[in-house]
Structure 1
Amino acid sequence: MQRLTGLRGLVDAYDGFILDAWGTLHEGGPVLPAALDAVRRLHAAGKRLAVMSNTPQLGPVLARRLEGQGLPSDLYDFPFTAGDLAHEDLRAADGPWFAGIGRRAYHLAPARFPDLLPGTPFTPVDRIEDADLLVNGGPDRDDLPLSSFEALFRAAIARDVPMVCANPDRAIVNQGILTMCAGELAAAYEALGGRVRYYGKPFPGVFERTLERLGTEAARTVVVGDGLTTDIAGADAAGLDSLLIAGGLYADTLVTGSGKLVDDLEAAVRAISPVARPRYAVPRFAW
């Protein structure tokens, strides 16, 4: 793993940059100034840029949110999200996995994530007892413990209701607070015996679709993100190089109090994810 202080050393090596959003560009609040500067410089250098997020929101919604946080949409080429991929499959509702699944869906998600079911053949229902499918966009409230979902999940599993997980992230750092995401709910559902279909990083589809839209060669494209089990592991599986933002989700373990990479970074990374192999690492997303 090559230790870097910023992205300037990668400009000549790559034509395409696939950028994570949460933990890389921002931490729940305004876009980080150093990140905005780096995106501006990459754009000025003529690089192809995609913002690829595990949010269950659709790409246009993400773009508007990022605009409000301070990232103009004309600085990157397009957004692509786990929600986009999930919505495409829900809209088609075909293939072996969807065979035999009825068209009534219980949508578990915050009120700010309403976009997964409109435009699909699935009718939303308010009771899990009436559902054929559980669509998971995350906890409906940030203050709920994982245990509060057990009764809902057991009721669904008793009826063999499968789950679509539209955000594999298990947690994010939201302005300094670790917050549970849809991936944690999906893991609990599986642990109770439920069936789950995941969309987004690190699972197949999202990297391939993003690379196809970027139009850059795989060997000239790098994935940038703070998630070892999502951004980095997914890049590895897709055959793409990756740059780990060590000061994101795992900042307490991978970055010193003075903001530098820890001395034995490789061992610290392996302790978190034995399979993730970032090619590069920086303390934060900066030029």
Structure 2
Amino acid sequence: MIGRCFSVQSSSPNELKFQTLSGIQHLAESRRFKAWFLDQFGVLHDGKQPYYPGAISALEKLATCGAKLIIIKGELTHQYLQRRDDAWFASLGRSCIHMTWSDRGAISLEGLGLKVVESVEEADFILAHGTEALGLSSGAALPMNLDELEKILDQCAAKKIPMVVANPDFVTVEARALHVMPGALAATYEKLGGEVKWMGKPDKIIYKSAMEMAAVDASDCIAVGDSLHHDIKGANAAGIASAFISLCPCH
């Protein structure tokens, strides 16, 4: 993270300004922000290499300066499906078509009380965690390409069942290459007329939850990400400052 280019945007609409930095040391030492919300892919690592050079030292520097560090990931969907104290989630059934990963590892749904089904006719909703496979009732994952998954989406749209997308990213960085993410499936589903619940950036819900977790106000935190459409747009929606890592193949 240190040593790469940052463009930092103010959180105040009346003070819309940018500055370009070569790293985070100056911001960290200024202690301007009490909490830092960090994206994973493209910020801390690339999906293959455990950490970018300088990432660990950057985190250590922030911790030394007293900052609270929260890594933004897909846990919010798990929490909402488990608690169901939100009206929209309370109305969902328990049977789902699960789109998941194969090479990157299938996502566990343990503890959510869900029944994974393979037939659209049995499904109450779609849960999109990945773009490589279809979850099976046995707990295994059947590898599928995007065309095959989109054919299932066609059937789901005809039945008018909703989709929960756990990661709205369209693409992510993996070993410096771009990998299609669940957000792409969700965008396709909306074009088919399907209802999509976007769980994560750019929806401000994830940053609002992070602020509650860190017990800070919007003026006291900053979001760091490598996607203008998700990380930075989400930070703007939540009214917080943001740092965009500009040396990213997503742009």
Give the secondary-structure state (helix, strand or coil) at the position aligned to 2:77.
Answer: helix
How much has 1:135 moved relative to structure 2? Answer: 0.6
Q: Does 1:4 align with 2:21?
A: yes
Give the secondary-structure state (helix, strand or coil) at the position aligned to 1:41.
Answer: helix
Task: Give distance in 2, aligned partners of 1:95 and 1:49.
Answer: 27
Give the secondary-structure state (helix, strand or coil) at the position aligned to 2:224.
Answer: strand
| CA distance 1:92–1:10, shift in 2 (3 Å) | same
How much has 1:98 moved relative to structure 2? Answer: 4.0
Give the secondary-structure state (helix, strand or coil) at the position aligned to 2:54.
Answer: helix
1:140 alignment partner in structure 2: 132
1:171 alignment partner in structure 2: 171
Gaps of 5+ in 1: 53-80, 254-287
Q: Does 1:37 align with 2:37?
A: no
- The runs of 4+ residues in structure 1 deviating greater than 4 Å are none
Give the secondary-structure state (helix, strand or coil) at the position aligned to 1:33.
Answer: coil
1:14 alignment partner in structure 2: 33
1:70 alignment partner in structure 2: none
Name the % identity: 34
Q: Does 1:50 align with 2:67?
A: no
| CA distance 1:100–1:210, shift in 2 (3 Å) | closer
1:102 alignment partner in structure 2: 93
Contact 1:172 1:249 in 2 (8 A): no
Q: TM-score, normalised by structure 1?
A: 0.71
2:12 alignment partner in structure 1: none
1:125 alignment partner in structure 2: 117
Matched residues, number = 220
AA partner of residue 42 (structure 1): L
2:82 alignment partner in structure 1: 91
Query: CA RMSD, aligned part only?
Result: 1.9
Give the secondary-structure state (helix, strand or coil) at the position aligned to 1:169.
Answer: coil
Contact 2:128 2:165 in 1 (8 A): yes
Q: Does 1:188 align with 2:188?
A: yes
Q: TM-score, normalised by structure 2?
A: 0.81
Question: Between Structure 1 and Structure 2, which shows a larger proportion of strand residues?
Answer: 2
Gaps of 5+ in 2: 1-17, 134-142
